[in-house]
Every structure is written in C-alpha cells, then in structure tokens.
Structure 1
C-alpha cells in the first residue's frame, strides 16, 4: 500500500498504481448534510464499491461514521425523525471537522496507517465530541484488500449524550447508526449474506458478527465485520439501496456521560463475489486487531 497526500483535502491510498481509497478529510458539503470525512472505496482493479451523494439520500457518502441521534444533534445528515411527526428538518445538523493527522504512514509490513483527530460540533458551532480515528489499509491478495476503522469519541458537553437511531426514537426497523457503508446504485438488489447464508433485507435488526454484500452482476463483494466484543444488530438494505452497518444503537440508546469515551469499530474487506469466505480467516484477524486497538485507545487521553 502507498499513501498520497498531494491532493488538497484528500488522502489517497493506492494498491500498486490503483487508487483503492480516497479519504476526503476536508468535505465541502452544506451543513444540512452534516458534513464529515468519508472514504470512497474501490476494488484493486479500480471499480467503485461506494456511492457519493446518491439521488435518494445525498447525505450518504461512501464509508463514513454517521450518527443520526447524538443527544439533540444529527450527525447523519438531512431531517431528523420525530416520533408522531415523521422526518422534520431541524436546526441540528452537526459537523465533523478534521483537526489534523497524528500519523499517516506505511509500516514495514505494507500496512497504511492513519490516525486523525476530529472535532464534532453542533450546528451553532459549539463543541460536542472530540474523536481520535484510526484507519488502516492493507492488501490481502492481488484481488482483495481490507480497511479497518476505529473511532474513540469523548463527550465534551456538560450533559449526558444519548446515542441512538430512528428506531430508538420510535420508527420501526430503521436503526441506522454507526460506521455506514453505502454501495453504488449498480449494487441495488444485490445479495446480503450472513454466517447462516443468504439473508437479504431480513438481516436488518438481527445481531451477528458480519454481513457481506455481493453486487447483482457478481463483479465485486464487500464484507463488513463488527469490531464490538458482542454482536450488535445490523442495519442492512438491498432492495431500496445497497447499505450495511453494524448498528449498536439500533433499538436502544447508549448514554455517554461528560468526559467519558465511546468506541466504535468495524472492518471492511473489498474483493470478489466470494468475499464472505474470508470472514473466518482474514475477518477474524482484523477484528482481533480492532479489539486490541480498542483497549489501547480507551486508556489514552484525547485532548480537547
């Protein structure tokens, strides 16, 4: 893997001469879309496996950490679900702003490692969260590569922040929240696989260690693994659009008291239509690494 920093506002990861990830850390989207850094991903042959601002939800951007409910704040983008009223556009769209990179290098094993500090602010600009984000990218074989995402979030407010979803607020079966992968329009209608086999949209709301998504033409596949110690429910869609994310706040809110830290992590493996076969080997190793990172970061002070 190689890292290229020559494009302003974007950190590019290459496998050989192919760009497999463009990490946009200086987004230019409007406040309504809850602007945040995001990664646009591709296969080792250069085929896109993420979408950017699709017509159905313009606030969906590649792979990103998107949270619709953080106390009164919306870090997902667009309107907020209000029980009894539906989706309402409120003045609560926050932003995640890149403060700087602590690290951006490739180690002796060829693993690209990025450590970033971000400031999460409310729509009025007041501080809500400070985050240390650790990303890694590595080649698995000629046709497969993997990315890990680890976020440690510290509450900077003087009150408890409840992390939730539209379902935790009363909307049935809409528990999207977390490290969210949005696939291209061409992936719509593809297969969703679980450890039990073909799962489809019925995987939504069910717990498990991983889900995989295979494009309808079987040209590519994406395996997403939850880095949590215990299986979380998943948000999963194929019929309406291609989307996956481990959703720890699907059904219930998690409170974060002032000064405390919450950790979210996931791994994404990009490969061919058989990528789910790597869950027990490559996937297990990636999750073990994420959990080890989790223990280290939780002991590290994140400065304001």
Structure 2
C-alpha cells in the first residue's frame, strides 16, 4: 500500500496491486471530497460534479445551512467554505490502513462559524472491501444553528453523503431491518446502504454505519436510487436542526463500508 500526496491539492491511497483506490481532494473545491472511489479492479463507482448537482463530488461532508449561510449548494451569491488550515497529515497505521487528520475552518464572508478537527481512517481488507471511519469534532465560534431545508417533496439532507455514478443498474437502498427501497426520506435506521451494478456487470455498494454515540442515533437517512441519480447518506438534521452555543463541540462519527459486491444484511449487522 502506498500514499501519494500532491502537496496543497490531494492525497491518494494505492493498494498493493497498483490500483489507486481513492483520492481525497482538500483544496480544489469549496468542500473537500473523496473521488474517485474504486473497486479492487480499478472500476470507478463515484460521480463527480454531475450536471444536475455540480456540488455533488464523490463522498463529502457538509451541513446545508450554518446560521443561514448555504454550505451545501454552490449557486448562491454568498456560500460557505470549508478551508483546510494546512496540508492534512497522513500516516500509515498498524491495521493495514492510513489516517488523515486536518484542521478545518467553516467560514463565509471572512467570518469563521465553526472550527473542525477532522480525522478519517481507511483500511483495505483482503476481500477487497474498504472500511473508512470518518470522525469530526465541530466547535462553534459563535452561537450556531446547523440546519436544512425542511422536507416537502425534497429536503432534509446534510451530513456525510455519497453520489454514485449515474449509469448504475438495478440500484436500490438497503437497511438494517431488511427494508429494500429506491427512496428514503427521514426514516431512522442503525445503518443504511446503496448498491447497484455497473454497465459491465460489476456489483458495488456503499454502507453507512453512524456511531451509536451520535446525537441523533439511530439516524434518519435520505436519498434515492433511480435512473441516472444515486445519492444517499445519513441525515441527522432531517427532523430538526442542531443548535450549538459558543465554544460547544459536536462530535460526529460514521463508519463507511465500500464493497465490491451487493449488501448482505447479516454481514453488515455483524459490524454493529
């Protein structure tokens, strides 16, 4: 396994077979993101800046509104940015994985709303699976309301989300209680995943397991698996915002499984 770091731009993880399995871009967009994410054979499974939502980039973390400023979409005159304070620190771990840590400012119009300590770890398994643990600590620099667009026919999203490639076939959402659907709008689950098959027959899945210590556990999920649109993730603000007082810290952690196959509920439940 090898880490490649283009200083000031991105960090990539390459496996022992020479396949770059993922790349973390931390300076080329208003929000850092992971793309491409690849299967062990090099098949890309994530989408980047699709025409319908150009701010969808692989796997990323953001809440929609921070004190009313849009930190999610990128079409308003004033938007929020996640600014990495310095090049992230990447190290190998003893568990056949690597870890990235960085400080992040959530800022708009030169005003810092949140200071974040971000840490995520990635392990490569012999099965070809990747296990990514995303942990963040958000400290309010003023009284802060983390909010979303209330759900009507859409809305409620925000958190750690993935956009899978547009051309997946037979895509669907799978949950811990056995539910299989193509649409989820705020139902609480211990875990949820999105799966599909590439045009050349490669199965893939991304499963989110929010930590049981998270504020809203079990968490609402939001997303859709439909032709040309595969978007999914836990949405802790779906039913109500989170309010932080100045100096208060929100800790949030999610384990993400990236699988070169479809989802087996018994297997995922074992991770709990």
Match of 2:269 in 1: 280
Alignment of 1:34-49 (within 5 A): 35-40=30-35, 41-49=37-45
Aligned to 1:83: none
Which residue in 2 is equivalent to 1:52?
48
What is residue 20 of structure 2 aligned with on the other side? Answer: 19
1:235 alignment counterpart: 222
Question: How far off its partner does 1:228 sit?
Answer: 4.1
Partners of 2:14 and 2:248 lie apart in 1 by 36
TM-score, normalised with respect to structure 1: 0.80
Aligned twin of 1:193: 174
Q: Deviations over 1:16-48 (max 9, x none)?
A: 211111000111x4xxxxx11101111122111
Aligned match of 2:127: 142
Residue 171 of structure 2 contacts residue 182 of structure 2 at CA under 8 Å; is this kept in 1? Answer: no
Instruction: Confirm whether residue 61 of structure 1 aligns to residue 57 of structure 2.
Output: yes
Could you tell me which runs of 5 or more consecutive residues in structure 1 were left unpaired when the two chains were aligned. 30-34, 80-88, 285-304
Residue number in structure 1 paired with 2:161: 180
1:40-94 deviations in Å (ceiling 9; x for gaps)? 1111221112111011100111111121111111110235xxxxxxxxx4x3311
SS in structure 2 at match of 1:250: coil
> Residue in 2 aligned with 1:154?
139
1:161 CA displacement: 1.3
Query: Following the alignment from structure 2 to structure 1, what is the Cα–Cα distance between the partners of residues 58 and 141?
Result: 27
Superposition TM-score, scaled by structure 2 size: 0.89
Give the paired residue count. Answer: 262
- Alignment partner of 1:103 out of 67, 81, 89: 89
CA RMSD of aligned residues (A): 2.0
Deviations 1:195-223 (A, max 9, x none): 22242234321000111211145621211
Matched residues in 2 for 1:162 and 1:228: separation?
22
- Work out whether 1:166 is the aligned partner of 2:155: no
Give how far 1:131 is off.
Answer: 0.6
1:84 is matched with none
**Deviation per CA, 1:136-175, whole angstroms, max 9, x where unpaired?**
0101223211111111111112xx21112111xx645521
Report the Cα offset of residue 234 of structure 1. 0.4
How far 1:101 moved relative to its partner?
Answer: 4.8
Asked if 2 retains the 8 angstrom alpha-carbon contact of 1:10 and 1:26, the reply is yes
State the partner residue of 1:94. Answer: 80
**Residue 127 of structure 1 aligns with which residue?**
112
| Distance across 1 between alignment mates of 2:169 and 2:241 | 30
Per-residue deviation, residues 103-139 of structure 1 (Å, max 9, x unmatched) = 31112222201111111111x1211111110110101
Secondary structure at 1:5 match in 2: strand
Is 1:71 the counterpart of 2:67? The answer is yes
Q: 1:188 to 1:72 in 2, by over 3 A?
A: farther
Q: Secondary structure at the match of 1:280?
A: helix
Q: 2:206 aligns with which of 222, 227, 234?
A: 222
Higher share of residues assigned helix: 1
